[in-house]
Amino acid sequence: MIKVETTPNITGVKISGDYNDLYVLVGALHEIAILDDDIRNSRYLEMSNRILGLCYDIRHAFQGDREIMLAENGMDEDLMKVHSIIAPKNNVYFSCNCLYPEMFFVMLALNKLVELRIRALTKNTYIFSEALDKKVVWDMTITQVRLLQAAFAECMKGTLSEGSFSRWLNFMNGRFSVIESLTTQYIDLLNLKFISMPKEKRLKNLNVFAKRIAEFEYDMKHKEISIIVREGAKQYECPPGEIMVRGHEYPEEIEW
């Protein structure tokens, strides 16, 4: 089962599970991401690429390139004798970390991609009761995505006060979100700003960052970055996502 926990310094979250948990999750995230070059889907490519960035870390986790943990599984010598087997006494779990602002964006982007998948499965342009359609409720991809989102919500519930968690849910579930219009270099800016904060300030500002991402259209800093990115993409004749903004370099080591 996928588990999401806040890191010791509240820099981000640790996403963990056994090999199969993470393998299936990566498959679901790849399946729900928009990867084709159809002009009708072009506005979803940048946010999908960002989700694939998380996929990269999760894949490396279950390949053993990130943190590995052992946990007792209930097996002991007596059980082995009863069943005439030799079995390990611990299960192996793999994990990777993700910065809080990045995770907020991923949750909003997944909401949008789930909506698009529901439309594709039901062949309906608008969603009313389609979430209960037989093609949707049994869809493994949506189920796996929702499991990750639910695990993250549980993490936030245990991290924030009751009132703050209620406000956070409102930010994450805006009905008229246009998160696909967000210039993703803005997330790099917020990630770096969040890293630079002391631990206590991070905890107090979790909802501030969630709100800035959910309501990015009203943030002047986002507008500034969008102009820079669009002009750069035009100048170098490349997709906006390939533009690197000066000063947005991540530190080699992050104190999670």
Q: In the prediction, which pLDDT does 73 show?
A: 80
Among 212, 110, 187, CA closest to 153: 110
Q: In the prediction, which pLDDT does 182 show?
A: 96
Return mean pLDDT, the chain.
Answer: 91
Tokens 């991923």 correspond to what residue? 106
Decide if pLDDT at 204 tops 90.
yes
Q: In the prediction, which pLDDT does 37 show?
A: 65
Q: In the prediction, which pLDDT does 40 show?
A: 67
Decide if pLDDT at 126 tops 70.
no
Identify the band that residue 93 occupies on the pLDDT scale cut at 50, 70 and 90: very high
Q: In the prediction, which pLDDT does 119 show?
A: 87
Decide if pLDDT at 18 tops 90.
yes
197-215 mean pLDDT: 96
Distance of CA 52 to the CA centre of its chain: 9
Q: In the prediction, which pLDDT does 60 show?
A: 95
146-150 mean pLDDT: 97
62-69 mean pLDDT: 90
Burial level of 254, CB count in 10 A (0-12/13-18/19+)? middle
Report field, pTM of the whole predicted structure over 0.75: yes
- Rounded to whole angstroms, what are the CA distances from 111 to 67, 106, 138, 244? 28, 9, 17, 26
Decide if pLDDT at 87 tops 90.
no
Over pLDDT 70: what percentage of the chain? 96
Residues 26-61: pLDDT tens digits?
999 999 998 876 656 788 999 999 999 999 999 999
Distance of CA 233 to the CA centre of its chain: 26
Q: Are 141 and 32 in contact (CB under 8 A)?
A: yes
Decide if pLDDT at 129 tops 70.
no
How far, in Å, CA of 91 to CA of 85, rounded?
16
